[in-house]
């Protein structure tokens, strides 16, 4: 067996381990972050349980920490009190980014982790099976329920050789993105193996598994070996370590080899993480902003390397350099070793230990600004500036660009010495900002501010679909297009208010139009190209459209987490039987299916959509498991769980 199969076997509660089969896994650990967490806990409350039932549940506050207005602070208080009430550990704002913290303090090889954030697979760096999902799936797992998924196809990524100077883990995952792209990887797990594995530290491995999210895979993971053991010992958690490697005769669906010695410094150019260029090809391009941090590259290793490069140098006059350490632990190490002084002296702007710029809530670049970032997503507009040109690069590349004011291939910069950072033997451990819940039964008042509303209730699926095409979009529409974050984040707990911004940057009239159709009793239909719903796990990209009366998404293809979220909120995901039919359906047209409910109930796999007079009907594929059919028929997972 490979590592993926070993972990699945230990956690399988339903189904057969044959590729493509519907399986259900027992979830040991869960994590939520505040932006998805408020809905997750509101939904958990709506399920009527008395306490969380999984081994470990942690609620992190790291996304909405900007606190303009009362909303974020109220949400934090809700999260802190609801965590205390139901037995969840609460990580206070300022402690750091959920994925970095979970790796440091809680990750355990061989365990399953379900997180309401798409970058949960960061935990794969420590040998966990860590999967991103919508908040309601995490709520179910906190209640002791299983997580349903398709038995993945396991792809082995063989690593050979060793990284050369100036090349780091970010360049490896950018190479992987170049090979696999952001499309067509649904249902796969990437399992890293080979002699190159032992040359990578846990934080480097975590950078690689983190950005597996951009490939659209179910998760990515590394084996657990002596390197893992050393990391856990340094975190004071060696007792949780276990060895976990693939059997010598393990089988894989596909194999790709990457020779680490041949990887060169790379960048993901605007506006997609798979738009890969070599640094050499960008040499000399002027840079306006450099931002170092995010859950991908904010570890001690990364920031120490940056501090070494910046030491004794000053940021280029045109460049604004911001640095956000991933956790308090990282910040404390930088402070202890004098690196903070080096960063400050260089002119870097120290940012909070939080998601910050990565989610677009601050540090938007200027008009047409070229911004180099060590984060994982460069979707158009995500930075908060529509014309911003965001490039994703390694911390080393970013630091050199901050000084030089232009892109430089670090290998051609003789004035700089390549930093080598050794992982420490002991990390400073300080869990003061992790608040443990009181004993079960202790009375706790849950605080709810005026911005927090109960999740909207959906009606069961109608018998007939009478829909209007509310919007027609193209390929690679991300959840950032559907449900903008950034300045709109503060409405995450207020669905009616947040719904006013659905597709804001694509078609500002969408929300009003869809709401009017809903009020007239007409269903809304979204038509899309391929890879619809790429990116984040935010269930608001399904929940708010549900609130606006969307009943169906008809696309060439839909990404995994978003597809699951649509189902969880009673929206039926359909794909074109013939992708060419995408051209035959237009915005504003009326399409219907009289036998909508009956086809789903009877297990049908195809739905015939009848359009305006004269149009040939469109055949749409309905690929749903029996459980998913029951969920959409009930009007979503909340109704489904409440009905038992």
Catalytic residues: 62-63, 117, 377, 536, 538
User: Could you tell me the smallest distance in angstroms from the CB atom of residue 241 to ligand MIC?
Assistant: 28
With residue 306 as reference, give the H or E element that holds it.
helix 300-310
Cβ-based neighbour number of residue 68 at 10 Å = 12
Pick one of ligand SF4, ligand MIC, none as the site partner of residue 476 (Cβ within 5 to 8 A by kind).
none
Question: Distance between CA 440 and CA 437 in Å, rounded?
Answer: 8
Is 119 near ligand MIC (CB under 6 A)?
yes
- Which residues touch 520 (CB under 8 Å, ≥6 apart)? none
- Which residues touch 360 (CB under 8 Å, ≥6 apart)? 381, 382, 383, 384, 480, 484, 485, 486, 487
Is 102 near ligand MIC (CB under 6 A)?
no
56-60 and 370-373 beta bridge pairing: unpaired
- Residue numbers 537-596 binding ligand MIC by CB under 6 A: 537-538
Residue range at the interface with ligand SF4 (CB under 6 A); choices 36-44, 352-360, 563-571, 601-609 = 352-360
User: Could you tell me the smallest distance in angstroms from the CB atom of residue 373 to ligand MIC?
Assistant: 12
Question: Distance between CA 58 and CA 495 in Å, rounded?
Answer: 24
**Which two tokens mark 258?**
């990457």
Beta-bridge partners for 219: 189
Phi-psi region of 110 (alpha: psi -120 to 50; beta: other; left: phi over 0): left
User: Could you tell me the smallest distance in angstroms from the CB atom of residue 133 to ligand MIC?
Assistant: 9
Question: Distance between CA 409 and CA 281 in Å, rounded?
Answer: 9
Kindly tell me which of 106 and 166 has the beta carbon lying closer to ligand SF4. Answer: 106
Kindly tell me which of 2 and 33 has the beta carbon lying closer to ligand SF4. Answer: 33
Q: Binding string, 233-272, against ligand MIC, x = CB under 6 A?
A: ----------------------------------------
The only residue of 197, 244, 359, 544 in contact with ligand MIC, by rule CB under 6 A: 359
Terminal C-alpha separation, the chain: 36
Question: Distance between CA 594 and CA 597 in Å, rounded?
Answer: 8
Question: Distance between CA 477 and CA 444 in Å, rounded?
Answer: 42
Question: Distance between CA 622 and CA 6 in Å, rounded?
Answer: 32
Question: Distance between CA 99 and CA 425 in Å, rounded?
Answer: 21
Peptide bond between residue 229 and the one before it cis (omega within 30 degrees of 0): no
Is 375 near ligand SF4 (CB under 6 A)?
yes
Residue range at the interface with ligand MIC (CB under 6 A); choices 346-354, 509-517, 531-539, 585-593 = 531-539
Question: How many chain residues bind ligand MIC (CB under 6 A)?
Answer: 13
Question: Distance between CA 95 and CA 93 in Å, rounded?
Answer: 6
User: Could you tell me the smallest distance in angstroms from the CB atom of residue 63 to ligand SF4?
Assistant: 6
Question: How many chain residues bind ligand SF4 (CB under 6 A)?
Answer: 11
- Which residues touch 504 (CB under 8 Å, ≥6 apart)? 484, 488, 510, 511
Residue range at the interface with ligand MIC (CB under 6 A); choices 410-418, 534-542, 607-615, 624-632 = 534-542
> Residues 79, 61: contact at Cβ < 8 Å?
yes
Is 268 near ligand SF4 (CB under 6 A)?
no
Pick one of ligand MIC, ligand SF4, none as the site partner of residue 294 (Cβ within 5 to 8 A by kind).
ligand SF4
Is 40 near ligand SF4 (CB under 6 A)?
no
Is 323 near ligand SF4 (CB under 6 A)?
no
Kindly tell me which of 235 and 275 has the beta carbon lying closer to ligand MIC. Answer: 275
Is 118 near ligand MIC (CB under 6 A)?
yes
Is 36 near ligand MIC (CB under 6 A)?
yes
Is 358 near ligand SF4 (CB under 6 A)?
yes
- Residue numbers 84-123 binding ligand SF4 by CB under 6 A: 97, 117, 119
* Residue ranges in contact with ligand SF4 by CB under 6 A: 63, 97, 117, 119, 294-295, 355, 358-359, 375-376
* Residue ranges in contact with ligand MIC by CB under 6 A: 35-36, 63, 117-119, 132, 359, 485, 535-538
């Amino acid at each position: 067996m490979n590592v993926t199969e070993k972990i699945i076997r230990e956690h399988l509660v339903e189904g057969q381990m044959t590729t493509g089969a519907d399986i259900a896994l027992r979830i040991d650990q869960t994590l939520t972050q505040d932006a998805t967490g408020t809905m997750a806990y509101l939904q958990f409350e709506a399920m009527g349980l008395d306490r969380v039932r999984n081994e470990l549940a942690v609620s992190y506050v790291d996304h909405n920490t900007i606190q303009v207005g009362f909303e974020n602070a109220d949400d934090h208080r809700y999260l802190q009190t609801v965590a205390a009430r139901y037995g969840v550990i609460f990580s206070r704002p300022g402690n750091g980014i959920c994925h970095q913290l979970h790796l440091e303090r809680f990750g355990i090889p061989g365990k399953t982790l379900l997180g309401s954030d798409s970058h949960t697979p960061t935990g794969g760096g420590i040998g966990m099976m860590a999967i991103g999902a919508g908040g309601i799936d995490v709520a179910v797992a906190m209640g002791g329920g299983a997580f349903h998924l398709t038995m993945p196809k396991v792809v082995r990524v063989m690593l050979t050789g060793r990284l050369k100077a100036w090349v780091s883990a970010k360049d490896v995952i950018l190479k992987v993105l170049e090979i696999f792209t952001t499309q067509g990887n649904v249902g796969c797990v990437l399992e890293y193996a080979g002699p190159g594995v032992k040359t990578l530290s846990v934080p480097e491995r975590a950078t690689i598994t983190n950005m597996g999210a951009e490939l659209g895979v179910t998760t990515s993971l590394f084996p657990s070996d002596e390197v893992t053991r050393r990391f856990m010992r340094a975190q004071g958690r060696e007792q949780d370590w276990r060895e976990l490697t693939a059997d010598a005769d393990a089988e894989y669906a596909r194999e790709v080899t990457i020779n680490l010695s041949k990887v060169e410094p790379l960048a993901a150019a605007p506006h997609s993480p798979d738009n890969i260029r070599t640094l050499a090809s960008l040499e000399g391009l002027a840079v306006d902003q450099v931002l170092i941090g995010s859950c991908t590259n904010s570890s001690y290793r990364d920031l120490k390397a940056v501090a070494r490069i910046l030491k004794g140098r000053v940021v280029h006059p045109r460049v604004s350099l911001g640095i956000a350490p991933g956790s308090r632990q990282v910040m404390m190490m930088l402070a202890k070793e004098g690196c903070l002084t080096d960063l400050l002296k260089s002119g870097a702007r120290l940012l909070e230990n939080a998601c910050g710029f990565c989610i677009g809530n601050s540090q938007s670049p200027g008009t047409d600004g070229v911004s180099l970032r060590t984060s994982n997503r460069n979707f158009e507009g995500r930075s908060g500036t529509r014309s911003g040109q965001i490039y994703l690069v390694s911390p080393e590349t970013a630091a050199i660009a901050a000084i030089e004011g232009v892109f430089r291939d670090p290998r051609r910069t003789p004035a700089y010495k390549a930093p080598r950072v050794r992982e420490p033997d002991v990390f400073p451990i300080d869990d003061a900002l992790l608040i443990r819940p009181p004993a079960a039964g202790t009375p706790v008042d849950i605080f709810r501010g005026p911005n927090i509303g109960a999740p909207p209730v959906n009606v069961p699926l109608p018998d007939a679909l009478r829909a209007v095409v509310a919007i027609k979009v193209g390929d690679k529409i991300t959840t950032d297009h559907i449900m903008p974050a950034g300045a709109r984040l503060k409405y995450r707990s207020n669905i009616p208010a947040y719904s006013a911004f659905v597709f804001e940057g694509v078609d500002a009239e969408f929300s009003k139009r869809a709401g009017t159709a809903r009020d007239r009793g007409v269903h809304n239909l979204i038509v899309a190209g391929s890879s619809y719903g790429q990116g984040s796990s935010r269930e608001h990209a399904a929940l708010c459209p549900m609130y606006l009366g969307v009943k169906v998404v008809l696309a060439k293809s839909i990404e995994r987490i978003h597809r699951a979220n649509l189902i969880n909120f009673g929206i039926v995901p359909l794909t074109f039987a013939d992708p060419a039919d995408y051209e035959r359906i237009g915005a504003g047209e009326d399409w219907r299916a009289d036998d909508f409910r009956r086809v789903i109930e009877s297990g049908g796999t195809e739905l015939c959509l009848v359009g305006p007079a004269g149009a040939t009907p469109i055949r749409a594929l309905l690929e749903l498991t029996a459980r998913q059919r029951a969920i959409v028929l009930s009007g979503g997972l909340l109704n489904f769980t409440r009905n038992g």
